[in-house]
Structure 1
């Protein structure tokens, strides 16, 4: 994709995936005191919201793995999970595959209008593919920052035990 918005979206996704690549599965499931989600939830949530904004709202085929909405939709949290969650490695594979799908399916459709137009819960209006992907840059970066914060808390707790 040779478009600033699309390039930035790919950049943010790759940064997040590279950051979590060496985190083990048990660490990805730690919920620091005072928070309600963990690293794994944030990554799965990024996947679910990306599916909605990049594919569902643009009329493209979606790929929601079994139970992903139940596990990672807005408002969900790991303490409510009643089903086994995917491994961190599985989520990373899905995130990599998803950004490749965005690049191959949507790269030539950035200026295409979406119908119906979409108004977010925060009042933002989206009328084309590029605007949806632009929002995803913000969303991904926000959750990447949350992941980094959670890892920092976990690391400091581990260090204080030694």
Structure 2
């Protein structure tokens, strides 16, 4: 996809995936004091929001694995989980596959209008696929920064 928005989105996703590859599953589930979520939740949440904004709102086929909404939708948190979540490696595989789907499925549809236009909970209005992907750059980067912060806190607890 030769589009700056799509290229940047792929870059942010690949950076996040590479960063978490060395984290073990148990560390990904640590919730530092004062926080509500862990690294695993942030990654799963990135996946769920990407499905909504990159595929569902664009009128494309989605891939929501079983229970992903229950675990990772906005407002959810690991303290509410009552069934075993996916492993970190399963989430990493899904995140990798997802960005490849974005690149292959949406590369020729960036200027396509979405109907109806989507108004976010903060009042932002999206009218085409490119606008949805541009928002995802922000969303991915915000959660990547949160993941890095959580990892830093975990590392300081181990010292």
Q: Deviations over 1:75-131 (max 9, x none)?
A: 000000011100000000000000000000000000000000000001000000000
TM-score, with length taken from structure 2:
1.00
Which residue is 1:35 aligned to?
35
**Partner residue in 2 for 1:87:** 87
In structure 2, distance between residues paired with 1:39 and 1:158: 16
Query: In structure 1, how many angstroms separate the alpha carbons of the residues matched to 2:128 and 2:95?
Result: 23
In 2: Cα distance, 1:76 partner to 1:83 partner: 13
Q: CA deviation at 1:149?
A: 0.1
TM-score, normalization: structure 1? 0.98
1:82 & 1:116 partners in 2: Cα distance?
A: 36
Residue in 2 aligned with 1:134?
134
Residue 70 (structure 2) pairs with residue 50 (structure 1) = no
1:154 and 2:154 correspond: yes
Structure 1 ranges of 4+ moved more than 2 A: none
Q: What is the RMSD of the two structures over their aligned residues, measured on CA atoms?
A: 0.3
SS of the aligned residue for 2:122 comes to coil
Can you give the 5+ residue segments of structure 2 that lack an aligned partner in the other structure?
Answer: none
Q: Which residue of 1 aligns with 2:78?
A: 78
